[in-house]
Amino acid sequence: MKNIEELILKAVELQSNGLVTGQIANELNVSRETVTWLLTRSKKDVVAPAPKDISVTWNSVGQSSYRLRCISQALCDMVIEKLERTQQDADLVIGIGLSGIPIATMMAEELQIDFAIFHDYDDQKGKTHQRGIFSRNFADVDGKKCIIVDDVVSSGATVTDVAEQLREVGATPIAVAVIVDKMNADMIANVPMSSLFRITRVD
Ligand SMILES: O=P(O)(O)OC[C@H]1O[C@H](OP(=O)(O)OP(=O)(O)O)[C@H](O)[C@@H]1O
């Protein structure tokens, strides 16, 4: 997505395809507030200034399994460095659907540990009211020490949901790994977070 006009066209297109604000926000990796602003601006009657948000596109990496592997190895390296400091070993890697899955798969292979998948709730009302689930087709997370993997952290609601549900089943989230951290945080849900890129606003 090269500029705001392209972002507006994409938001309008997704809306005309029947997606609601939360779904468009997920698709474009921006906040709901930004989607509302983009859709309002498309009608040329906006007066409010744009919300402070960052749109993230990483398909130059996602389109290539080689680049995905490189990114996954870099994330493994960062996670291992942190875990070694606290002398912890992970039992499994959890990929958050959809975009966290290919990265988590490669990380699990690199670390030679189990692999699980978390289906994020595809929300229409708001993630705070709905929860995702662990897929039964992959490793059981109960009682395990887990690394949570996703592409982007925006509000942190998704990773927090995963961490809370892990604790509820006696598992321990010991690390979070993401490509882009829009929160600019060291910890999320009381778990240390590693990210390749951290977004910091200076205005
Ligand atoms: O920090 P949060 O505000 O919770 O937002 C981050 C989540 O939003 C996107 O998920 P999406 O549902 O769009 O899934 P995708 O992986 O299919 O893009 C992204 O991949 C993260 O999982």
| SS3 readout for 147-189 | EEEEEEECCCHHHHHHHHHHHHCCCEEEEEEEEEECCCCCEEC
Q: Please give the pLDDT value at position 58.
A: 92
Alpha carbon 67 to its chain's center: 18
195 lines ligand 1 (CB under 6 A): no
Higher-pLDDT residue of 172 and 8 is: 172
Residue whose CA is closest, atom 9 of ligand 1? 26
Burial of 112 from C-beta contacts in 10 A (0-12 / 13-18 / 19+):
exposed
Residue 167 has pLDDT above 90, yes or no: yes
Q: For residue 30, is pLDDT > 90?
A: no
**Residue 121 reports pLDDT greater than 80:** no
Rounded distance between C-alpha atoms, residue 190 and residue 192, angstroms? 7
For range 12-16, the mean pLDDT: 91
What average pLDDT does the segment 38-64 reach?
Answer: 82
Q: pLDDT at residue 113 above 50?
A: yes
**Cα–Cα distance between 147 and 191 in angstroms, integer?**
10
Supply the mean pLDDT for the chain: 90
Rounded to the nearest whole angstrom, what is the distance from the C-alpha of residue 97 to the centroid of ligand 1?
Answer: 8
Nearest CA-CA partner of 115 in 97, 138, 145, 98: 138
**CA R_g for the chain:** 17
Give the whole-angstrom CA distance, residue 201 versus residue 133: 33
Name the residue of 101, 119, 129, 151 to mutate for ligand 1: max ligand atoms within 8 A of Cβ. Answer: 151
> Prior bond to 68 cis, omega within 30?
no
Residue closest via CA to ligand 1's atom 19 equals 152
Give me the mean pLDDT over the 94-114 stretch: 97
155 C-beta closer than 6 A to ligand 1: yes
Q: Inform me whether the pLDDT recorded for 72 exceeds 90.
A: yes
153, 178 in Cβ contact below 8 A?
A: yes
* CA–CA separation, 36 and 119 (whole Å): 26
56 touches ligand 1 (CB under 6 Å): no
Going by pLDDT thresholds of 50, 70 and 90, the confidence category of residue 69 is very high
Predicted confidence band of residue 130 (pLDDT cuts 50, 70, 90): low
160 lines ligand 1 (CB under 6 A): no
ipTM here: 0.94
pTM of the entire predicted model? 0.82
Nearest to 183 by CA among 166, 169, 167, 201: 201
Specify the DSSP element, H or E, that contains 95.
Answer: strand 92-96
User: Does the pLDDT at position 16 exceed 50?
Assistant: yes
